[in-house]
């Protein structure tokens, strides 16, 4: 028989007890860890998880501030904000962009430019930022999207304000425009203040006064439902709107000047001499800034950039032109101030000038000369020979000195940026930039505004305004004052440069009288200019050579500009101020490849001083587009 072992109950009880104790200890450890974790979450990370939990039902959304408006000196609105509907995308809620674009395109038409602009913005913004896919939705498009919105959880229609320029092309070179913020700009702006903003000033006033126009971002705290849609606003911090800018510009004068220059390439700058207020700043041709607000295709932008008329080029501030004869009043002032010239000194002009110990002849613009001339007649008739001689006696250093104290060769300080300083040439400048020595012939050419000397229309206008003020200089400026939301005003007070002082203040009157003779003397280059208006004016006309037949081995034919292609013809220039007794306007006009500067200046001055220009009294000429334009005698 097999033997059967009897169970050891004591040993079994001990084993079970040990196992129970082990399980109990493990349970206690796990419960301890759970309690520790709960304590950590509830006590240590209480603030973090409270915030996260609130985010499940609360949303903090930035509110874009309203961009400040821009007005002219008469309160006419130049830049405003208009309401539109836009289709925006929240990228982190989209799983597959090509499918989304294809589907939404069946409901709302999307252009290639819309898609390319969206893809560009997609790379520049964070995935939870709202990015505009299409601007300016129609009411029908908004309705169609609303019916299908459930299919597109990452898309929404937003009502927003967008920049609009009521005068379109007019003032585009002054106001500039706003455009979508790019990657480079994102690195230089306050990301918090621009968290709800998609646009920033790119050029002109819009860029220069961006900080004042933009305002301060606001926020709103909204309670959301389970789908993330806001059901009520719990708290709101209102944004601070940007300041409104009131400019010194007279938009009616600006439009008159643009109309006078229309169809030609050139610039007009008008300044109020006593204050430095810019009344008009025209560069033609211009462009429509609205296309930059909406966003344009690369093809359209390249078309603007490569246009031979260069509509994006601000000729008033960046156009570099020879001084030509408008330099002569400034040279005459230096001659009088230094004692080298006098009102009584006369010189015979046979039509040519030759330096001592030189065989080279410098010719006058009038082949047979002007005969016996003094300073007044030399300015009135624009006698080159007189200023050849005066320039030789003065030397380049004195010529440089007088131009420098008038502000040439340096920035004027206009509150718009973008300007170029021009060139006041000197031996040191020529050695540095050209690598060759300065010759006496360079000084002779400089004395009549040719050679290396270059200036901008803005500098010419500021220079003639200084003559009108008898030496008092003002910084040309565009801002009159800023207006806050509470209608408080902050006036612009630009710092004025040092005045131009002469040893004898009577020298101002001598040169101004000579400039009056330009239009009152039968020998004046602007004699016909003065017969039509009731006001007095001091003027200097000029012609800047673009193409020299002699330099190209051809026979020089005087005044035969019509035989040249249009873009090789001379530029015409004019500086003026009026009335002489109490100047209220100083003006500089440059018209490229045309002799119409005088007639255009006359129309602008007539409009400002007596009303619309007397166009019916002016003879007609043909401009570069084949249409007729008012013209006067082509002045030198």
Express each pLDDT in 495-515 by its tens digit: 999 999 999 999 999 999 999
The highest-confidence range among 48-62, 213-227, 378-392, by mean pLDDT, is 378-392
**Same structural domain for residues 374 and 228?**
no
Q: How far apart are CA 555 and CA 558, in angstroms?
A: 10
pLDDT value at residue 223 = 74
Q: What is the CA radius of gyration of the chain?
A: 36
Which of 222, 247, 272 terminates a domain? The answer is 247
Mean pLDDT (the chain) is 87
Decide if pLDDT at 57 tops 50.
yes
Q: What is the mean pLDDT of residues 610-624?
A: 47
Q: What is the mean pLDDT of residues 194-214?
A: 93
Contact (Cβ atoms closer than 8 angstroms) between residue 175 and residue 208: no
**Same structural domain for residues 236 and 260?**
no
Decide if pLDDT at 628 tops 70.
no
Higher pLDDT, 303 or 460: 460
**Same structural domain for residues 492 and 344?**
yes
**Same structural domain for residues 71 and 176?**
yes
Whole-number percent of the chain with pLDDT over 90? 59
Q: What is the mean pLDDT of residues 205-223?
A: 92
Decide if pLDDT at 376 tops 90.
yes
Q: Considering the domain boundaries, does residue 385 fall inside one?
A: yes
In total, how many domains does the chain have? 2
**Same structural domain for residues 307 and 440?**
yes
CA angle 243, 244, 248 (to 5 degrees): 130
Question: Could you list the active site residues?
Answer: 325
Q: Considering the domain boundaries, does residue 141 fall inside one?
A: yes
Q: Considering the domain boundaries, does residue 30 fall inside one?
A: no
CATH number of the structural domain spanning residue 201: 3.90.1310.10
Which of 247, 264, 279 terminates a domain? The answer is 247
Q: Considering the domain boundaries, does residue 123 fall inside one?
A: yes
Q: How far apart are CA 466 and CA 275, in angstroms?
A: 11
Cα pseudo-dihedral 425, 426, 431, 434, rounded to 10: 20
User: Is 331 exposed, middle or buried (CB count within 10 Å of its CB: 0-12, 13-18, 19+)?
Assistant: buried
Kind of pairing between the strands at 178-180 and 199-201? antiparallel
Decide if pLDDT at 59 tops 90.
no
Contacting residues for 458 by C-beta, under 8 A, at least 6 apart: 269, 281, 316, 317, 412, 414, 419, 476, 588
Contact (Cβ atoms closer than 8 angstroms) between residue 260 and residue 266: no
CATH number of the structural domain spanning residue 581: 3.40.710.10
Q: Considering the domain boundaries, does residue 12 fall inside one?
A: no
Which of 179, 214, 247 terminates a domain? The answer is 247
**Same structural domain for residues 231 and 267?**
no
Contacting residues for 308 by C-beta, under 8 A, at least 6 apart: 567
Contacting residues for 227 by C-beta, under 8 A, at least 6 apart: none
Higher pLDDT, 417 or 557: 417
**Same structural domain for residues 159 and 277?**
no
Confidence of residue 132 (pLDDT cuts 50, 70, 90): confident
**Same structural domain for residues 581 and 464?**
yes
Q: Considering the domain boundaries, does residue 562 fall inside one?
A: yes
Whole-number percent of the chain with pLDDT over 70? 89
Residue in 281, 278, 292 with CA at minimum distance from that of residue 257 = 281
Confidence of residue 117 (pLDDT cuts 50, 70, 90): confident
**Same structural domain for residues 383 and 413?**
yes
Contact (Cβ atoms closer than 8 angstroms) between residue 329 and residue 511: yes
Dump pLDDT digits (tens) for 70-115.
999 999 999 999 999 989 888 878 888 888 889 888 999 988 888 8
Q: Six-digit token pair at 124?
A: 């520049």
Which of 20-24, 287-291, 619-623 is the least confident region?
619-623
Dump pLDDT digits (tens) for 571-581.
999 999 999 99
Q: Considering the domain boundaries, does residue 166 fall inside one?
A: yes
Q: Considering the domain boundaries, does residue 531 fall inside one?
A: yes
**Same structural domain for residues 315 and 356?**
yes
Higher pLDDT, 86 or 222: 86
**Same structural domain for residues 375 and 420?**
yes
Q: How far apart are CA 279 and CA 465, in angstroms?
A: 12
**Same structural domain for residues 354 and 476?**
yes
The residues that bridge with 354 in the sheet, in sequence order, are 361
Decide if pLDDT at 558 tops 70.
no
Q: What is the mean pLDDT of residues 217-237?
A: 76
Confidence of residue 233 (pLDDT cuts 50, 70, 90): confident
Judge if the upstream peptide bond of residue 82 is cis by omega within 30 degrees of 0.
no
Confidence of residue 300 (pLDDT cuts 50, 70, 90): confident
Contact (Cβ atoms closer than 8 angstroms) between residue 177 and residue 203: yes
Which of 97-106, 291-300, 453-462, 609-618 is the least confident region?
609-618
Which range of residues forms the domain containing residue 577? 251-630
């Amino acid at each position: 028989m097999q033997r059967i072992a009897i169970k050891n109950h004591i040993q079994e009880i001990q084993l079970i007890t040990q196992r129970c104790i082990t399980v109990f200890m493990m349970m206690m450890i796990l419960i301890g860890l759970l309690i520790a974790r709960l304590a950590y979450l509830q006590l240590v990370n209480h603030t973090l998880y409270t915030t996260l939990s609130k985010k499940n039902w609360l949303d903090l959304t930035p509110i874009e501030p309203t961009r400040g408006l821009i007005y002219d000196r008469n309160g006419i609105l130049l830049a405003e904000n208009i309401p539109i509907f836009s289709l925006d995308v929240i990228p982190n809620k989209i799983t597959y962009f090509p499918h989304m674009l294809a589907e939404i395109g069946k409901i709302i038409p999307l252009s290639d430019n819309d898609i390319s602009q969206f893809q560009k913005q997609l790379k520049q913004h964070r995935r939870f930022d709202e990015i505009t896919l299409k601007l300016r939705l129609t009411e029908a498009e908004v309705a169609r999207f609303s019916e299908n919105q459930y299919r597109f959880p990452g898309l929404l229609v937003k009502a927003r304000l967008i920049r609009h320029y009521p005068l379109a092309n007019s003032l585009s070179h002054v106001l500039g425009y706003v455009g979508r913020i790019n990657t480079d700009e994102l690195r230089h702006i306050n990301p918090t203040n621009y968290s709800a903003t998609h646009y920033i000033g790119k050029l002109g006033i819009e860029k220069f006064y961006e900080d004042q126009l933009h305002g301060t971002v606001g926020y709103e705290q909204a309670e959301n439902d389970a789908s993330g849609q806001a059901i009520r606003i719990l708290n709101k911090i209102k944004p601070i709107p940007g300041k409104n800018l009131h400019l010194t510009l007279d938009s009616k004068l600006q439009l008159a000047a643009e109309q006078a220059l229309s169809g030609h390439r050139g610039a007009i700058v008008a300044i109020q001499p006593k204050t430095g207020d810019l009344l008009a700043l025209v560069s033609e041709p211009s462009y429509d800034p609205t296309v930059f607000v909406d966003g344009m295709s690369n093809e359209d932008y390249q078309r603007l950039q490569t246009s031979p008329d260069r509509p994006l080029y601000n000729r008033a501030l960046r156009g570099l032109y020879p001084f030509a004869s408008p330099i002569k009043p400034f040279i005459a002032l230096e001659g009088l101030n230094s004692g080298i010239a006098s009102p009584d000194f006369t010189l015979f002009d046979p039509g040519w000038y030759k330096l001592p110990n030189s065989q080279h002849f410098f010719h006058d613009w009038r082949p047979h000369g002007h005969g016996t001339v003094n300073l007044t007649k030399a300015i009135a008739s624009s006698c080159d020979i007189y200023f050849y001689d005066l320039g030789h006696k003065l030397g380049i250093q004195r010529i440089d000195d007088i131009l420098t104290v008038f502000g040439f060769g340096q920035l004027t300080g206009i509150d718009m940026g973008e300007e170029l300083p021009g060139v006041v040439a000197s031996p040191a400048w020529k050695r540095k930039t050209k690598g060759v020595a300065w010759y006496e012939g360079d000084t002779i050419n400089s004395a009549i505004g040719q050679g290396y000397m270059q200036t901008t229309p803005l500098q010419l206008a500021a220079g003639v305004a200084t003559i009108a003020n008898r030496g008092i200089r003002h910084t040309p400026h565009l801002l009159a004052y800023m207006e806050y939301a509470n209608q408080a005003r902050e006036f612009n007070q630009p710092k004025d440069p040092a005045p131009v002082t002469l040893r004898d203040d009577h020298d101002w009157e001598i040169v101004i009288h000579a400039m009056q003779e330009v239009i009152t003397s039968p020998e004046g280059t602007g004699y016909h200019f003065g017969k039509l208006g009731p006001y007095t004016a001091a003027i200097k006309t000029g012609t800047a050579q673009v193409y020299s037949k002699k330099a190209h081995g051809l026979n020089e034919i005087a005044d035969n500009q019509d035989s040249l292609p249009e873009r090789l013809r001379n530029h015409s220039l004019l500086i003026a101020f009026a009335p002489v007794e109490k100047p209220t306007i100083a003006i500089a006009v440059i018209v490229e490849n045309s002799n119409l500067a005088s007639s255009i200046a006359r129309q602008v001055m007539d409009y400002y001083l007596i009303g619309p220009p007397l166009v019916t009294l002016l003879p007609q000429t043909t401009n570069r587009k084949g249409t007729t334009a008012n013209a006067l005698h082509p002045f030198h």
